[in-house]
Chains A and B, each alone.
Chain A
Amino acid sequence: MSLTENYRKREESITLTSEPAGTGETHELLTLNIGPHHPSTHGVLRLLATLEGEVVRDIKPIVGYVHTGIEKTAEDKAYWKVIPVVERMDYLGYYFNAMAYCGAVETLLGIEVPPRAQYLRVIHLELNRIASHLVWLGTGALDLGAISMFWYCYREREQLLDLFEMSSGQRMHTRYFQVGGVMEDIPRGFEEKLRQFLKIMPPRADQYADLFEKNQILLERLRGTGICDRQTLIDLGVTGPLLRAAGDPWDLRKAHPYSSYDHFEFKIPVGTVGDNYDRFRVRHAEIYQSVKIIQQALDGLPEGPHITPDRKVALPPRHELATSMEALIHHFKLVTEGFRVPPGEAYYPIEGPRGELGCFVRADGSSKPARVHMRDPSFSNLQALAPMVKDAYMADLIATLAMLDPILGGIDR
């Protein structure tokens, strides 16, 4: 009997008053190391979080765990050979890396890219944008606990990689973009398969929206979390869907069109509040817009060469090698030494799936670049993580990281 008596007395001493977070008796700060191996850091990102209870007071990202010295390797290779090396930087947007680099070299050389090549480039770039957003959606939902989304997104991504394999032979890192155009014209059957894909993609994207939006847990986790205002983002150099979610309609495809993007009609999704939910909506809406662009590009695909006819830069077609002596010599010089670029510097920015991807190339007159630097969007976007999660819960940190979409290959290069 006395046991239960004591127990009842102890029970009475517990008061269930709710105290707001972080205002308890002790203000002890805990430094927690998240990563580099952690199930939810996208790639090998290490975060030093200073926590007070469950509330994040400060966060310091530490990067460099997948630094590959790609820029240094690129200085050692001919201009043509740099393309596969540079493609592996942002490993989800491989066509974008190649596009930025090829654009910079084309600027330095002063050559024109034929219209068919430009349209083919746009088709592949937008397909890659959809593929990158599918990975973001699948793995982001996986982080938040909605595991089924992952399998649906990867079903579409398999179809996309099949298309890439059709046009270039490789699923990832395809070396399809060359300086002056694209490597090869699209094969027979590519157009039908692409049209079939474009027909099924918008309804599937509707299904993803249904999965996400009708889930109360996801909505609660994303709405109102990770808010960062526009001016802070601009000061930090953030571009891309993060800036658009905060309400700033800045998109390089519209502001400074490159590779005949001005021929296509598409909208830019812009958010209002700048929280994680807006980021999700902006990226999800971009999938529809990419489908629209590809549709227009495919319908209006012009005839013509798929690479510049300038034989000093692009390889001659194989049938010419049997008949023309100049073609043989050009082929030989291009394959062994590579083309020389007159001295100069160029910075070519494009709109990647994460923001402004710019490539800086310095040429010194030889056949190898003297400096290749990629201005990677994730590198600047990662600086915005600290203001976004200040005074938010740990769970919001994970949600924000999922919606931030950092790609460590681009950050570390």
Chain B
Amino acid sequence: MEIKREPVSDLRVRQLTAVDMLRGDLPEEDIERYVEERVLTTTVDRAVAWAQGNSLYPLTFGLACCAMEQIHVVASRVDIARFGFEAFRASPRQADLIILSGRVSIKMAPVIRRIWDQMLEPKWAISMGACCSSMGVFNNYALVPSDKFMPIAVHIPGCPPRPEALMHGILKLRDKIQGHAPDGWRERYDADGTEEVLPDGDFSSADISIFKPGDTAGA
């Protein structure tokens, strides 16, 4: 006579393994797998980075036309509050993200550097628009590209970039902070190994800087 058995249900398996675990009867590998399936482990760095990326406090800083599109990011259609970044702080001591929105003139560059120095670590900078990333439409005596005096994490092209583009840039910065920075087009087109070999050099300080690193005058 064949005994018809029902296949053992997943729930029953889990219950029996739980009983074994509590009695101390589970073999080694099974314990590892048991813990992995139920407990979220991570390093403290990654947890902190996750939290930092999700709670950026931008600085209220608008220079020129890109500032108008930056204000549209705060408005209701492209709502920056969806991501939790709506708390724009006016004081650089309380902010950790500076969005350089607009053209940086030579009179303003030392001021921006001073504001950057006043921000506390960890801090990031987004260069929004063509004028501060490269020279933009106006390649002339009066402008400074922002790379010359401060480290920029994300450059956003456009003149001015749409508010959706700025949002995309901020989210890319969030990815970068949280540790899974995308490789961009290399990832999409599976082009691993096409990176250009950069010249050897000292990348820790810019050739031209208004305040040298370690100079406390900027604080």
Contact = CB atoms under 8 A, between A and B. Distances in A.
Direct contact of A and B (CB under 8 A): yes
Contacts of A39: 60, 90
Interface in A336-351: none
Contacts of B115: 37
A266 interface: no
Contacts of B131: 68
A130 to B, nearest CB: 15
Nearest to A81: B137
Interface in A189-213: none
B69 A172 contact: yes
Interface string A163-189: 000000001110000000000000000
Interface stretch (A18-26, A151-159, A289-297, A362-370): A151-159
Contacts of A88: 64-65, 137-138
Nearest to B143: A68
Contacts of B141: 69, 72
B105 A65 contact: yes
Interface string B134-175: 000111111100000000000000011010000000000000
Contacts of A158: 72, 75-77
A73 B107 contact: no
A160 B77 CA distance: 13
Given A36-B108, A70-B138, A151 B75 contact: yes
A84 B71 CA distance: 22
A200 to B, nearest CB: 16
- Interface band, chain B: 20 to 34
A47 interface: no
Interface in A60-107: 64-70, 72-73, 84-85, 88, 91-92
B107 A67 contact: yes
Contacts of B72: 154, 157-158, 161
Given A66-B105, A155-B75, A173-B159, A409 B137 contact: no
Given A73-B138, A171-B162, A37 B61 contact: yes
A325 to B, nearest CB: 34
B97 to A, nearest CB: 15
Interface residues of A, number: 35
A109 interface: no
A44 interface: yes
Interface in B19-77: 60-65, 67-69, 71-72, 75-77
A66 B75 contact: no
B103 A68 contact: yes
B143 A69 contact: yes
B107 to A, nearest CB: 5
Interface of A: 36-39, 43-44, 64-70, 72-73, 84-85, 88, 91-92, 135, 139, 150-151, 154-155, 157-158, 161, 171-173, 408-409, 412
Which 9 pairs across A and B sit closest by C-beta, in order of nearness? A154-B75, A69-B142, A91-B65, A39-B90, A65-B108, A69-B140, A158-B77, A67-B105, A73-B138
27 contacts: A36-B111, A37-B115, A43-B62, A44-B108, A44-B111, A64-B107, A66-B63, A69-B141, A73-B137, A84-B137, A88-B137, A91-B68, A135-B71, A150-B75, A151-B75, A154-B72, A154-B75, A155-B75, A155-B77, A157-B72, A158-B72, A158-B75, A161-B72, A171-B69, A171-B162, A172-B160, A173-B65
